[in-house]
Structure 1
Amino acid sequence: MKVDNSITSQSLPAVRFPIAGYSPGTTQMLLLQYWKKHHQPATVNTLPSGTVQIKKDGTDTLVFNNKSVMLERYVISGLVWGNEFLWTDANGQLFCLITNDAEGDKLEMMLEPYESWLPELINKAAAHGMRLFTANAKPSYEKHDVIAITGGDILDVENNQSISNGVVLIKNGRITKVGAANNIAIPAGAYVINAKGKTVLPGLWDMHAHFEQAEWGPAYLAAGVTTVRDCGNEFEYINAVQQAIDKGNGIGPHIIKAGIVDGSGQYALGVIRANTKEEAIKVVQRYKENGFQQIKIYSSVKPEIIKEISTEAHRLGLPVTGHIPIGVTLQQGIDSGMDQVNHISFVNAALKKNKEGLIDFSDTANVAVFNFLKAHHVVIDPTLGVYEMMFRSLKDSITKLEPAFASLPQPLKPLFINTGVATDSLAERGRLFMKNFKQIVSHLYADSITIVAGTDMGFPGFSVYREMELYVECGLTPIQALQTATIVPARVMKMENMSGSIAPGKNADIIITDGNPLQNISNVRKVVTVIKDGNIYNPGRLHHIAGFQ
């Protein structure tokens, strides 16, 4: 058997099927037929390696042209990270497959005559995915009316100070008291968490998430991420996921939804488009009516439509973030109404370089760019970790980027290992880009231009740690880096009265780390307890649910 450049021999098990992760839908239909032909075994051995589990999960009946069509629903696990949902008709014909591609994006395949049903099946896939978690993971958390966290160092990210041997009291999911142990009495009957020798922090925010599958929920929480801004998702899917989590039918962080809108073009993304003023207004209003808190511009929106989208969004109280579209400058996008920008690369593109490709930050043109951003109060989520991954040399160990790489779900590992550049010349070019990007972040922060930590996915949950570590490499102090993932995004989203710090009256979204991140930012990785809305989660249990090893 030859895989890549390796040739091996092995004894074949009785039941085996040649398939690899992220395979075409037709191959997965054949896998399902193979499974049925072999009497539905609990496990199918796959070639070149691994196993797959298939189970019939029930039926769904939909109405098409006034006729009811009953579909058989199957769950496939082990082929990619997490569960895939597959529907067949009565004849075993693949009707719909909802999964994720090798970049982690949502991927759907649908029998063409029934394409209008896809939004409903996307909704069902989200609900069923969350249901499988709650059915197999009870109890996933501890719940107590009154909780006392005692003995730890409580980090006050708003005032840049710590309370040694502190106490945090929580009642019915809200923080009621915070202070030194000698000033706060522990109520009788309170559930006590002993945090002696540990650090108590506010729950982390990821301001550039893409919640593409149910497994992201426990993965985020396990890493201490209690709030995410989902920067563009399928309308039906993210609504169903958020609803499941908020109603207690799923596991995951608070979700702030940013509704994505693109224009028609060669590189257009998704199905929600706006090419006219009327379409722009309609799209924004639909997002607002469905609880979205922000609008995200994507790369093919026409210059004149940016303004129409932004005007309607601002009228409805929604800020506008996103990519700087093709053919539009950074300044034009912001002048058209964009309040925030995703990715540091769009700032980099607006800056002059010398012949070596480096940035002279004293150049008057570059100074003008930073002055412009500051004057317009623009918020940037740099997503440095994404670029570090893209530009890394494949010769370097992946553990330099993620120390816990070995714990990741097995199907994800090859995707990350094979992301990067293969030649020394490309790696050198990548180092130049990263040098520029880090210097830009340093100057943004020095000029008081708001930075928020976002990952654009990456290592599930873990990447927000790396983002903060990179900010420290840019020159931020550990507390400043932590603020980009706590109180600053809460302020940006006008949610600082309920989130972002440990203070009376706020949601009890708290993490406890075995080590002090102020001494070493990487200590933020040592999360031992996660609390969301007063519910206590064990990170190890959450990672197990999400398929981590």
Structure 2
Amino acid sequence: MKSTLAVLALALASSIHAQPVTTQKLIIVGNGEAVGSVVATTSGDHVTVDYAVSNNGRGPRHHEALVLNDRALPVAWSVKGTSLMGGAVDEDFHWADGHAQWKSQAEQGESTAAAPALYVLNDTSPWAYGVYARALLKAPKQSLGTWPSGNMKLEKLQSTDLTANGHTLHADVYAITGIDTKPLYVFLDSKQRLVGTVDGQGTAVLDGYEGAAKQVADVVASLEDQRLRSLGAKLAHNYDRPVRIKNVHVFDPATGKVGPLQTVITFDHHITYVGNDPDKLPPTEDQVVFDGQGGVLVPGLHDMHSHATSDSGLNYIAAGVTSARDMGNVNSFLQTLRARIDAGELIGPRIVPNGFLEGRSPYSAHTGFITDSVEDAVRDVDWYADRGYFQIKIYNSMNPDWVPAIAAEAHRRGMRVTGHVPAFDTPDRVIHDGYDEIAHINQLALGWVLKPGEDTRTPLRLTALARLASLDLNAPNVRATIDLMVARHIVLDPTMSIVERLLVSRAGETPEPEAAVIDHMPISYSRYRKRTFVPAPTPELTAQYNGAVQKSLDILKLLHDKGIRLMPGTDDTNGFSVHRELELYVKAGIPPAEVLRMATLGPEEYFGRADRLGTIERGKLADFFLVAQDPTANISAIRAPRLVMKDGTVFFPSEIYGAIGVKPFAEPPPQEQLVAKPSVH
């Protein structure tokens, strides 16, 4: 492989001298501001690409080199650099003489084929989406097999004119499907150049057309709306008759007990019956009846640290997550998304919004509001309060001296305050300044191990967790903070699952957090999870990271034993991470029934909605899910819901997963076919 790359480099160098050279630049825009760029230099069939993003103190940064054949298929492709959190990227693909070889963070492999397939990058850039689209345009039926596995398809959806700076650029909009749980949308101009796309890093748009970034994002959002509305109409089952679920046990989070076999009936969004004597209520022909087959009904789960996307609702509902707290988003997007979910246009959980406030710095997160003064920050608090936001979330670059004024205004307006511990601040100080809650276990624990002047606006806020391995939980500074949390009734939203994922990630391995789901997922998801997120995991550092995970679990157990409220959240966009979050609490030593209470009734008590949600009782809204096994005996039973009900609407996870390219985890319960009884005269 190394000799091949050397030949590739020499060939590229000679080609650049022999061929006309063209350069194309794309700007990455996040929340209205430039956060990165893609610069591609083409000479004949050789292309080099430089990709860099800096948003929230992190972002991928790598260099690509590729060679294309006459069918626009890459026959050589290398990527070198660093990924989102600073982990090393070293990916290579090569095809020649009927033999393909590849090596990425996820795996290495080879294949024999008379003609090359389309290689799917593990560490990708927006430029790759254009490569995929051009290759598919030349393919029969615009479909290609992909390496390492799978199949990719292209479909033209519409045309549009992008306008900026008095110039107009005509573009065709395509959807690429087959490699992820949702399509990739690409904009190609008349020369088949990539001129726009949207991914997790932001909106990429042709240099000079940054003013059209919102237009690109709006087109993609509209296309996603159409797709998701279509799925919603197909996957949401609404009945004008009572829905009866028989032969089920009911988990009661208030007592921590699973009851005897019962029948549960719902109608018009609400639970209308929960009874221990189902034979006295025989089903009638005007009911929809499901046989729970001895399974357990559990109140809907909550993700108390989400960042909603238009398609994340599908993943949440399929996993039994019927409510979520959004901890920071593009404000206009979140307001629209909530309205569409509440109206039944899109599938998704109930979303409780938090208002995101960030300070201005080179490391700012480009979401919510970025404030330049304490006066602006207070006005932003009022903007959120006027719109009914539950909390204010303060972020890394906020000036610590502004926190008291922000917290005071939030409290005056009836809101709570949560967030990261701003850079150069401490957990103890933010609590004294008005925090009611702290987001992320690392934001709490770093206060015990950071050195003066260290900057947590960078990935240090994660990598410095290695120091936890040797932390003494009886140290005076640790006990002082915990005592302060107890005295002030401070809540912690640990997001332990994302911390674990980052610290135990190792290239080419399936980490424990992903073992239960990875074989069910499309290629892009599964490969992305088999990688190293943290930089330079030497044997010594690996041992420290592993020790930090265990020490974080010890901290969770200590906090729980002290009576500090834990709010299970993930900092992710799918229910799989909620499941893992709860598994980790059990691994820390907290009994499963107590963990389930944290994820069901506890959040509703926190929101002040426990009179409507959080338990399965007559008169409450119908939010719950059915699993085959008892999760109080094995918490992992929650990973396989058979039926989910949210607000009285029935969903079958197997249908949702099938629609987004995920192998289902469980089959739906059988539905009885009732025959009308003869009339009695």
Decide whether aligned partners of structure 1 residues 40 and 300 sit closer, same or farther in structure 2, where only a CA change above 3 A counts. farther
Decide whether aligned partners of structure 1 residues 94 and 195 sit closer, same or farther in structure 2, where only a CA change above 3 A counts. same
CA distance in 2, matches of 1:356, 1:85: 42
Decide whether aligned partners of structure 1 residues 462 and 274 sit closer, same or farther in structure 2, where only a CA change above 3 A counts. same
The one of 242, 248, 256 aligned to 1:152:
248
After TM superposition, give the deviation of residue 448 of structure 1 in Å: 0.9
Decide whether aligned partners of structure 1 residues 239 and 121 sit closer, same or farther in structure 2, where only a CA change above 3 A counts. farther
- Could you tell me which residue of structure 2 aligns to residue 103 of structure 1? none
Q: What are the superposed Cα offsets for residues 275-298 of structure 1, whole Å, 9 maximum, x if unpaired? A: 212321333333344554332211
After TM superposition, give the deviation of residue 74 of structure 1 in Å: 2.0
Residues 176-215 of structure 1: matches in 2 within 5 Å?
A: 176-181=272-277, 185=281, 188=284, 189-212=286-309, 214=311
- Could you tell me which residue of structure 1 aligns to residue 491 of structure 2? 379
| Cα pair 1:320 1:340 within 8 Å, conserved | yes
Q: What is the TM-score of this pair, normalised by structure 1?
A: 0.89
| Cα pair 1:20 1:48 within 8 Å, conserved | no
CA distance in 1, matches of 2:197, 2:563: 47
Q: What is the TM-score of this pair, normalised by structure 2?
A: 0.72
| Cα pair 2:203 2:216 within 8 Å, conserved | no
Q: What are the superposed Cα offsets for residues 47-99 of structure 1, whole Å, 9 maximum, x if unpaired? A: 66543222121244677678987653222223554212223456655442112
The one of 161, 176, 182 aligned to 1:76:
176
After TM superposition, give the deviation of residue 476 of structure 1 in Å: 1.1
Decide whether aligned partners of structure 1 residues 42 and 524 sit closer, same or farther in structure 2, where only a CA change above 3 A counts. same
Residues 361-376 of structure 1: matches in 2 within 5 Å?
A: 361-376=473-488
The one of 223, 226, 229 aligned to 1:131:
226
After TM superposition, give the deviation of residue 344 of structure 1 in Å: 0.9
Decide whether aligned partners of structure 1 residues 18 and 437 sit closer, same or farther in structure 2, where only a CA change above 3 A counts. closer
After TM superposition, give the deviation of residue 384 of structure 1 in Å: 1.6
Residues 53-452 of structure 1: matches in 2 within 5 Å?
A: 53-60=153-160, 71-88=171-188, 92-100=192-200, 106-136=201-231, 138-145=233-240, 146-181=242-277, 185=281, 188=284, 189-212=286-309, 214=311, 216-271=312-367, 272-290=369-387, 292-351=389-448, 358-392=470-504, 394=506, 397-399=510-512, 401-419=514-532, 422-452=537-567
Decide which moves more: 475-484 or 84-93.
84-93
| Structure (1 or 2) with the larger CA radius of gyration | 2
Q: What are the superposed Cα offsets for residues 97-117 of structure 1, whole Å, 9 maximum, x if unpaired? A: 1122xxxxx432123444344
The one of 597, 609, 613 aligned to 1:495:
609
After TM superposition, give the deviation of residue 233 of structure 1 in Å: 2.2
Which amino acid in the other structure matches residue 552 of structure 2?
F
Which amino acid in the other structure matches residue 176 of structure 1?
T
1:527 match: secondary structure: coil
After TM superposition, give the deviation of residue 3 of structure 1 in Å: 1.5
After TM superposition, give the deviation of residue 500 of structure 1 in Å: 1.7
Residues 436-475 of structure 1: matches in 2 within 5 Å?
A: 436-457=551-572, 460-475=574-589
After TM superposition, give the deviation of residue 302 of structure 1 in Å: 0.8
Decide whether aligned partners of structure 1 residues 181 and 343 sit closer, same or farther in structure 2, where only a CA change above 3 A counts. same
1:495 match: secondary structure: coil
| Cα pair 1:119 1:236 within 8 Å, conserved | no
CA distance in 2, matches of 1:510, 1:51: 36
| Cα pair 2:249 2:295 within 8 Å, conserved | yes
| Cα pair 1:20 1:47 within 8 Å, conserved | no
CA distance in 2, matches of 1:134, 1:156: 34
- Could you tell me which residue of structure 2 aligns to residue 8 of structure 1? 110
After TM superposition, give the deviation of residue 361 of structure 1 in Å: 3.9
After TM superposition, give the deviation of residue 239 of structure 1 in Å: 3.3
2:662 match: secondary structure: coil
CA distance in 2, matches of 1:79, 1:401: 18
Decide which moves more: 274-283 or 474-483.
274-283
Decide whether aligned partners of structure 1 residues 184 and 345 sit closer, same or farther in structure 2, where only a CA change above 3 A counts. farther
After TM superposition, give the deviation of residue 363 of structure 1 in Å: 4.2
Q: What are the superposed Cα offsets for residues 359-394 of structure 1, whole Å, 9 maximum, x if unpaired? A: 444444433211211222211111222222222263
| Cα pair 1:202 1:502 within 8 Å, conserved | yes
Decide whether aligned partners of structure 1 residues 256 and 30 sit closer, same or farther in structure 2, where only a CA change above 3 A counts. same
Q: What are the superposed Cα offsets for residues 132-179 of structure 1, whole Å, 9 maximum, x if unpaired? A: 133256421322231122221111112333331222221111122323
Unpaired runs of 5+ residues, structure 2, are 1-93, 95-100, 451-466, 664-681
| Cα pair 1:54 1:74 within 8 Å, conserved | yes
CA distance in 2, matches of 1:348, 1:405: 30
| Cα pair 1:77 1:83 within 8 Å, conserved | yes
Which amino acid in the other structure matches residue 548 of structure 1?
V
Which amino acid in the other structure matches residue 197 of structure 2?
L
After TM superposition, give the deviation of residue 420 of structure 1 in Å: 5.9
CA distance in 2, matches of 1:364, 1:400: 33
| Cα pair 2:163 2:209 within 8 Å, conserved | no
CA distance in 2, matches of 1:290, 1:44: 47
Decide whether aligned partners of structure 1 residues 539 and 27 sit closer, same or farther in structure 2, where only a CA change above 3 A counts. closer
After TM superposition, give the deviation of residue 401 of structure 1 in Å: 4.6
Q: What are the superposed Cα offsets for residues 426-448 of structure 1, whole Å, 9 maximum, x if unpaired? A: 22102221222111111111111
2:540 match: secondary structure: helix
CA distance in 2, matches of 1:438, 1:491: 24
| Cα pair 1:293 1:319 within 8 Å, conserved | yes
After TM superposition, give the deviation of residue 8 of structure 1 in Å: 3.4
| Cα pair 1:22 1:79 within 8 Å, conserved | no
| Cα pair 2:514 2:529 within 8 Å, conserved | no
| Cα pair 2:353 2:391 within 8 Å, conserved | yes
- Does 1:25 pair with 2:139? no
CA distance in 2, matches of 1:199, 1:277: 51
Residues 470-549 of structure 1: matches in 2 within 5 Å?
A: 470-549=584-663
After TM superposition, give the deviation of residue 548 of structure 1 in Å: 0.9
Which amino acid in the other structure matches residue 512 of structure 1?
L
After TM superposition, give the deviation of residue 196 of structure 1 in Å: 3.6
Query: What RMSD over aligned residues (CA atoms) do the two structures have, in Å?
Result: 3.0
Decide whether aligned partners of structure 1 residues 86 and 281 sit closer, same or farther in structure 2, where only a CA change above 3 A counts. farther
After TM superposition, give the deviation of residue 230 of structure 1 in Å: 2.0
After TM superposition, give the deviation of residue 346 of structure 1 in Å: 2.2
Which amino acid in the other structure matches residue 150 of structure 1?
K
Decide whether aligned partners of structure 1 residues 229 and 120 sit closer, same or farther in structure 2, where only a CA change above 3 A counts. farther
1:32 match: secondary structure: helix
| Cα pair 1:123 1:240 within 8 Å, conserved | no
Decide whether aligned partners of structure 1 residues 357 and 63 sit closer, same or farther in structure 2, where only a CA change above 3 A counts. closer
Decide whether aligned partners of structure 1 residues 169 and 464 sit closer, same or farther in structure 2, where only a CA change above 3 A counts. same
Decide whether aligned partners of structure 1 residues 473 and 29 sit closer, same or farther in structure 2, where only a CA change above 3 A counts. closer
Decide which moves more: 122-131 or 339-348.
122-131
1:132 match: secondary structure: helix
- Could you tell me which residue of structure 1 aligns to residue 32 of structure 2? none
1:195 match: secondary structure: strand
The one of 142, 145, 151 aligned to 1:42:
142
1:517 match: secondary structure: coil
CA distance in 2, matches of 1:240, 1:427: 43
After TM superposition, give the deviation of residue 126 of structure 1 in Å: 3.0
